[in-house]
Structure 1
Amino acid sequence: MRTCARWWGRGGSPLRSSGILLLLVPPFLLALQLLVVGPLLPRASRVGEGAVAFSVISIEPERNSRQRGSPSRRPGLEQELGPRTLALQRWAADKPSFMAELNRIITYITKPQLNCSRVLSPGQAQATQPPADSPHWLLCAEDWLLPLEDRPCVAYSFSMDGGDAEFLKTVSLLGCEVHSFDPSNSNASGGHLGNSLASNHGDGGVVSQHKMWLEWRVPRKRKNKTRGNLGSVSQTLADVMAALGHHTVHFLYADLLSAEWRVFQNWIESGTLQSVHHLVATVHLQWAGFEVGGTNEEVLRYWFSVLQGLQASGLKLVHSSAGEGHSVLKQTVANAHSSYTLSWVNTRY
């Protein structure tokens, strides 16, 4: 035993040295890996003073449909269907410019992308040629864009100022199942949203009123929405449709009082726009809008990015009507108006 102990004592030092070296090798390799690969890793984004308070990454659709739980799609349809992420467009000029960004937006929203030979004017259910004067909005009445007569027609309206009266009249005369949403409406059926959303059972021409509004924030913990069952006075469009049992909204009117930019972004990113055939919406330019921040140039670029996202989702502009005032982001601009009511049609449904 003493001989063994003396042998281990004489030979132990080199072994201990080798063991220490072996212990030091993994940390050294890890540090070397971090030094080489670390700079290539994406950094966490920070929102500092003057930064734009929204997320823009890429407009490419989700490539792995299994991760989303969505059904597989045919090759070539990835650019047309499914959720996408809003992409921030390039600057209109070589450097940030208020007038360059504004002129790009005004040019875009005042130039129709689709000419309709027959239209539905406000308050009218008979298709006619486009009127000589410029009405508040128009619905494109080409045969291939209107609901089939033997299938149910669904219409939604989100408005708090009563400006949707002619829209409600038009879609009611068309025989649509009509739902009007206004959180300030004391005449809405009942105080419980479940009963309210179940009040219309497909009766054509009947307007069901709901005391609720649109939300653009997706709840972290989403419960299964059943027909006629919603949990608060503010819900996403997808949840409203699910609660009402609708897979398609043929006509949608929205005057969201400056919340439209964030709501539009939600529709783009969630893919909800694939279920909306005609959209009439007012965009407000007086201020940045709810939960939108940054410099004036950044806000204008974000607005244009949203408009591009609508187009990428299949919407084409058929009519534009300017509102009152000439204030854009609290600045007076002679060649622009404070609001515009835009009429789109979805050419991809």
Structure 2
Amino acid sequence: MRAGARGRRCGLPRAGLLSIPPLLLALLVGLLLLKVLGEVEEDGGGVAFSVISIEPKRSPHGDGAPSRRPEEEEEEDSRYEDENEMPAQQIGTRGLEVQAWAAGEPSFTAELDRIIAYITRPQVNCSRVLTPGESQASQASGHKLPWLLCAEEWLLPAGNSPCVAYSFSMDGGDADFLQTVLGLGCEVHRFDPSNMNASGGHHGNSLAGSRGDGGVVSHHRMWLEWRALRKQKHKRKGSLGSVSQTLADIMETLGHRTVHFLYADLVSAEWRVFQNWMEHGTVQTVHHLVATMHLKWAGFEVGGTEEEVIRYWFSILQGLRACGFQLVYSCPGEGHSVLKRMVANVHSAYTLSWVNMRH
């Protein structure tokens, strides 16, 4: 009896595979296949970076959970659509294509060298530009500026056509951008969930009645989301009803089909936001894009080894390029920390200016 017990615990019985019931045999074969696939993925055969949720952990029994009513938890959990529940028309037109390793294998140095070379070399040479605070095109100069917009005539809205500009910033660093697009006569909307730096113009928690006027900035206590929100059955027209919405929902509510100028400093959420734009086709509605890309840490809901994270970042940038975005200008920010590692001659953030050449 003891020998039989040892056999069941440590290996197969002497009778071999023929004595195993068919259902159990299929289970063993399946486990073996999973093990083999796992070893292949560890060797670099699959997408390596993972997604880390920033939602608070909750116990089904309430242990260690925030003190909220059950109906509040149910409401929050139901805000976002499960991937399998999303209707077919919301599925993106371009999935993220993960790029091959820069050196053929994981390498922090090779991945970092590749992405830095990419974001510091402009791909479009603009003879006329719009500089911060100025709405009159001028010749490009050698002076270092935080950003600039390509002002070639064919890339700017025609004089008699509507112009729309969005700005997402919480530190007030978009003041010059707002001045520039206001000078162009654009309908301007500024989004800041804190709304602490808003002064003048229209203010509000929602987008109801916020079709902007030329020369006036409409302020919204709202921020960008990268996950699809469940459609509310009784949502009031013109009001998004949440402080966080996708760019597609914001544009739909405001009645915009195009954003000619978009400024974004998303404090490390830009990687997942841009992935959402590409997967849902929203990126094609943006003509000029100024965005700060943060390298100090992986970003919201992005994780993995250092090499995997940088490869993911580079894949996002390549996705933008595949959608028509060409780099016009690059300006390094402060600090020299990349994924909390000090790196000489590399900065913790870069503000990049793109133009969508497909427009």
TM-score between both structures, scaled by the size of structure 1:
0.76
* Equivalent residue number for residue 231 of structure 2: 222
| One of 239, 244, 257 as aligned partner of 1:234 | 244
* Equivalent residue number for residue 337 of structure 2: 327
> How far has the Cα of 1:69 moved from its partner?
4.3
| One of 269, 277, 289 as aligned partner of 2:299 | 289
| One of 325, 330, 349 as aligned partner of 1:315 | 325
C-alpha spacing 1:151/1:291, structure 2 compared with 1 (3 Å)? same
Larger Rg: 1
How far apart in 2 are the matches of 1:227 and 1:204?
23
Query: 1:245-294 CA deviation, whole Å, 9 max, x = no partner?
Result: 00000000000000100101101111101100000000000000100000
How far apart in 2 are the matches of 1:202 and 1:226?
19
Deviates more, 1:235-244 or 1:184-193: 184-193
Q: What amino acid maps onto 1:129 in structure 2?
A: Q
The yes-or-no answer on 1:53 pairing with 2:55 is no
Q: What amino acid maps onto 1:145 in structure 2?
A: L
* Equivalent residue number for residue 85 of structure 1: 95
* Equivalent residue number for residue 343 of structure 1: 353
| One of 113, 138, 146 as aligned partner of 1:128 | 138
Query: 1:144-163 CA deviation, whole Å, 9 max, x = no partner?
Result: 10001111100000000000
Work out whether residues 204 and 219 of structure 2, in 8 Å CA contact, stay in contact via their aligned partners in 1.
no
How far apart in 2 are the matches of 1:201 and 1:190?
12
The yes-or-no answer on 1:274 pairing with 2:271 is no
> How far has the Cα of 1:105 moved from its partner?
0.3
Pairwise CA RMSD of aligned residues? 2.9
Work out whether residues 205 and 222 of structure 2, in 8 Å CA contact, stay in contact via their aligned partners in 1.
no
How far apart in 1 are the matches of 2:335 and 2:205?
39
User: Which structure 1 residue ranges, 4+ long, deviate > 6 Å from structure 2?
Assistant: none
How far apart in 1 are the matches of 2:165 and 2:242?
21
Q: What amino acid maps onto 1:249 in structure 2?
A: V
* Gapped regions of structure 2 (runs ≥ 5): 1-21, 53-86
Work out whether residues 331 and 350 of structure 2, in 8 Å CA contact, stay in contact via their aligned partners in 1.
yes
Work out whether residues 227 and 244 of structure 1, in 8 Å CA contact, stay in contact via their aligned partners in 2.
no
Query: 1:291-331 CA deviation, whole Å, 9 max, x = no partner?
Result: 00000000000000000111111110000000011100001
> How far has the Cα of 1:348 moved from its partner?
1.0
How far apart in 2 are the matches of 1:291 and 1:156?
24
SS at match of 2:138: coil
Query: 1:9-62 CA deviation, whole Å, 9 max, x = no partner?
Result: xxxxxxxxxxxxxxxxxxx9xx99xx89x979xx89xx99x962249xxxxxxx
The yes-or-no answer on 1:169 pairing with 2:179 is yes
SS at match of 1:343: strand
Work out whether residues 316 and 347 of structure 1, in 8 Å CA contact, stay in contact via their aligned partners in 2.
yes
The yes-or-no answer on 1:254 pairing with 2:264 is yes
The size of the alignment, in residue pairs, is 289
Query: 1:177-221 CA deviation, whole Å, 9 max, x = no partner?
Result: 00000011145855541xxx23443411210000110000112x3
Q: What amino acid maps onto 1:164 in structure 2?
A: D
How far apart in 2 are the matches of 1:346 and 1:110?
18
* Equivalent residue number for residue 254 of structure 2: 244
How far apart in 2 are the matches of 1:253 and 1:192?
20
Q: What amino acid maps onto 1:53 in structure 2?
A: S
SS at match of 2:330: strand
How far apart in 2 are the matches of 1:227 and 1:140?
36
Work out whether residues 329 and 354 of structure 2, in 8 Å CA contact, stay in contact via their aligned partners in 1.
yes
Work out whether residues 200 and 206 of structure 1, in 8 Å CA contact, stay in contact via their aligned partners in 2.
no
SS at match of 2:335: coil
| One of 129, 136, 156 as aligned partner of 1:119 | 129
Work out whether residues 227 and 245 of structure 1, in 8 Å CA contact, stay in contact via their aligned partners in 2.
no
Q: What amino acid maps onto 2:49 in structure 1?
A: V
> What fraction of aligned residue pairs are identical, expressed as a percent?
65
C-alpha spacing 1:190/1:205, structure 2 compared with 1 (3 Å)? closer
* Gapped regions of structure 1 (runs ≥ 5): 1-27, 56-66, 71-81
The yes-or-no answer on 1:201 pairing with 2:211 is yes
| One of 287, 290, 300 as aligned partner of 2:310 | 300
Q: What amino acid maps onto 2:231 in structure 1?
A: R
